[in-house]
Homo-oligomer: A and B are copies of this chain.
């Protein structure tokens, strides 16, 4: 894992401010617990109203936190005045999401001017320690920060 030097000294503030605008994160009580250059961590408490049919946290919620973590890991290495967009992701689910807390971790594998590749993982913590729940490989894209990209043409 290489050490990255951010292009923008204000990267942490930029990530925190964008995170604060993600209403889904507030809805699911997500907290941004780590913001380093190229590495971001987000955690949520288990909640009974975000489950799939067996009471485990739903794959879409698991994905939400690791997508956001990877997106902000990518954004942390981008220049100021740029926003980040998820191009695509792939997630493998390796054990049921049970426990007390779910942690999504995103790390940059390869930064780029337009595209950044990140790896992510989600772990669940509970009485038996930490277990791996899901693993992600994803492509993020830098786009001009227009505050509105409804007409974006990738």
Q: CB-defined interface of A126-154 with B at 8 Å, one 1/0 digit per residue?
A: 00000010011101010000011110111
A51 in contact with B22 given A92-B88, A113-B154 (CB within 8 Å)? yes
Digit string of A1-42 for contact with B (CB within 8 Å is 1, else 0)? Answer: 000000000000000001101111011000000000000000
Q: Is A87 an interface residue (CB 8 A)?
A: yes
Copies of this chain per assembly: 4
CA gap between A50 and B68 in the complex, in Å? 13
Q: Do A58 and B135 have beta carbons less than 8 Å apart?
A: no
Question: Interface range on chain A: under 10, 10 to 19, 20 to 34, or 35 or more?
Answer: 35 or more
> How would residues 39 to 51 of chain A score, 1 for a CB under 8 Å from any chain B CB and 0 otherwise?
0000000001111
State in angstroms the CA–CA spacing of A124 and B84 once bound together: 21
Contact with B along A48-72 (1 / 0, CB 8 A): 1111111000111101110110000
Question: A91 with B89: in contact, given A113-B153, A154-B112 (CB under 8 Å)?
Answer: yes
